[in-house]
Amino acid sequence: MNTTTVKAGEGSVARGVPMPDVRQDKQGDLAPQERLDIAMRNFVRDFGAVAATYLESCIHCGNCAEACQYYVQTGDPRYTPIWKIEPFKQAYKREMSPFAPIIRALGLKRRVTVEELEEWQELIFDSCTMCGRCTMICPMAIDIASLVGLARHGMHKAGLVPHELFAAAERGEREGSPLGATPKVFKERVDWISDEEEVEVHMDLPQADVLVTISSIEIQKYPQSIAALAKVLNHMGLSWTFRSQGYEATNFGLLSGNADWQRHMSMKLIDAAIACKASLVLLPECGHAYTAMRWQGATMYGKPLPFKVRHISEFLAEHIADGSIRVRKGLNKSVTFHDPCQVVRRGGAIEGPRIVLEALGAEIREMRENRGMNWCCGGGGGVISIHRADALRYKAFQIKMRQVEDTGAEMLVTSCSNCRLSFDDSQAHFHWDKTAHSLLEAVAENLDTPPARAAAGPDGARAP
């Protein structure tokens, strides 16, 4: 399993965003004061009672440092989670908080400078995967990752996004895919893989019950996922389709902090689902795609979505349980599962992978910290794309290696292609012998034959 077209660790291309010759970590040519004003204005643009509650509640106990991989691995206090949004916290207290007029009058908090924001770029982007582990330790339960998300909004509008993250997001906005998986490229990939794997892949059916989506990481690096999806859905006899107008589930608008681009990416999927009258949008093995569509899709749409949204791991578990996916106990070995932060801890789709692995006959060996307590792979939140963050990311990854090794499991499985990318890259860096495999591919390889309708179309297909 896990046949990859690009070998892990082949440098920047494998990670989709080339290493820039000259870094451009500032966009546009705004005057410093203008940058600052825009950053703060956009930080508070989506501000409400929730963010204010969090910014008001910190007791400076420092506990959150102990939950964050970057602090734990470096001991550098700047990586303390709540410190990562310090300039924004200062600005909030000075400009917006209930006692802001008194604070300003007495000069209790000084103005934040644009130099500080530039310095904080590394903390807001390179050293936060928005994994949310810090919320689990905070005695006030502050959701720091959501505040980092708001800070990214400010930083993006002010033109203070790390080079690669901006480049990927901008490309996504312009071409429809951050990693160059344009509709043409995607169709070519689909044609090639369906030939290669002899599986029928539905593309642009006018009507289907399930709109299937995919991440550009899978299209470019793990195209086996496309075949695996098709095999499972055909096995179930479902009416499903990819749509060339809306297939890309990754959302670099979300990661880079551009709410408008985030909306554009999400609306492509929403429009595609509505166009083919889908009752379900199936999200691929991608963590932040789940956040973007499952927990923020309707926010982007401005009203409830006219379809359900499920992550592939939830979908597999549900249908293995109800018998519509029949699998062999072919995974006869000990397996440990890496919980993708956005799907599991922050997304709430927690038990699905365990149900699936059990059905596949695996002996599950949980990591010591698992489910909501799991350690991040270190590559989420767009961090994997930022080359200058590599050294730090590898340090963080050492926790992951230790966790996996401690289980003694023969096989490592996850359900996020971004995590897999991060694992592959670090595996190559450390010459490690463990590879992160795909949960979906494991299911596809162990489907119990014969399929009910190998290539069921919309006619006579079962409901999802």
Residues of this chain that interact with other proteins (CB under 8 A) are 46-50, 52-54, 56-63, 65-67, 71, 75, 77-78, 80, 82-83, 97-99, 108, 132, 135-137, 139-143, 294-299, 301-305, 308-309, 344-350, 368-369, 371-373
Judged by CB under 6 A, the residue of 38, 91, 124, 128 near ligand SF4 is: 128
Q: Which is nearer to other proteins, 140 or 428 (CB)?
A: 140
If the CB atoms of residues 234 and 370 are measured against ligand SF4, the closer one turns out to be 370
How far from each other are the two terminal CA atoms of the chain, in whole angstroms?
Answer: 27
CB within 8 Å of 326: residues ≥ 6 apart: 235, 447, 448
Give the integer Cα–Cα distance in Å for 193 and 421.
20
Contact between 158 and ligand SF4 by CB under 6 A: the answer reads no
**Interface pick for ligand SF4 out of 42, 73, 129, 427 (rule CB under 6 A):** 129
Q: Are residues 382 and 152 in contact, defined by beta-carbon separation less than 8 angstroms?
A: no
Shortest Å distance, C-beta 143 to ligand SF4? 9
Residue 460: contacted member of other proteins, ligand SF4, none (CB under 5 to 8 Å, by partner type): none
Pick between residue 242 and residue 307 the one whose CB is nearest to other proteins.
307
Write out the two tokens for 46: 């989506």
> Site map for ligand SF4, 183-222, x if CB under 6 A?
----------------------------------------
Nearest distance from C-beta of residue 341 to ligand SF4, angstroms: 7
d(Cα 396, Cα 126) in Å, to the nearest integer?
12
Residue 48, amino acid: G
Q: Are 170 and 176 in contact (CB under 8 A)?
A: no
Q: Which two tokens stand for residue 445?
A: 């390889």
**Identity of the residue, 49 or 105, whose beta carbon is nearer to other proteins in the bound complex:** 49
CA distances (Å), 101 to each of 66, 94, 97, 196, in order? 35, 8, 9, 67
Q: Which does 128 bind (CB under 5 to 8 A by kind): other proteins, ligand SF4, none?
A: ligand SF4
CB of 423 to ligand SF4, least distance (A): 17
CB of 108 to ligand SF4, least distance (A): 19
Q: Is 373 in the site for ligand SF4 (CB under 6 A)?
A: no
Compute the Cα dihedral for 275, 278, 284, 289 and give only its sign.
Answer: positive
Q: Which stretch binds ligand SF4 (CB under 6 A): 11-19, 57-65, 99-107, 422-430?
A: 57-65
Measured between alpha carbons, how far is 80 from 127 in angstroms, rounded to an integer?
10
Comparison of 132 and 464: residue with beta carbon closer to ligand SF4: 132
Q: Are strands 436-438 and 411-414 parallel, antiparallel or unpaired?
A: parallel
Q: Is 77 in the site for ligand SF4 (CB under 6 A)?
A: no
| Cα 293 from Cα 283, distance rounded (Å) | 8
C-alpha span between 232 and 5 (Å, rounded): 21
Question: Two tokens at 73?
Answer: 């691995």
CB within 8 A of 125, min separation 6: which ones? 152, 155, 161, 162, 165, 381, 382, 383, 386, 389
Closest separation between CB of residue 432 and other proteins, Å?
Answer: 24
Can residue 110 be called a binding residue for ligand SF4 (CB under 6 A)? no
Question: Tokens 């949008």 — which residue?
Answer: 281
Residue 30 and residue 38 in contact, taking contact as beta carbons nearer than 8 Å: yes
**Closest CB to other proteins among 108 and 452?**
108
Q: Which does 81 bind (CB under 5 to 8 A by kind): ligand SF4, other proteins, none?
A: ligand SF4
Residue 206 interacts, among ligand SF4, other proteins, none and using kind-specific CB cut-offs from 5 to 8 Å, with none
Residues near ligand SF4 (CB under 6 A): 58-64, 67-68, 70, 81-82, 84, 128-134, 138-140, 142, 144-145, 376
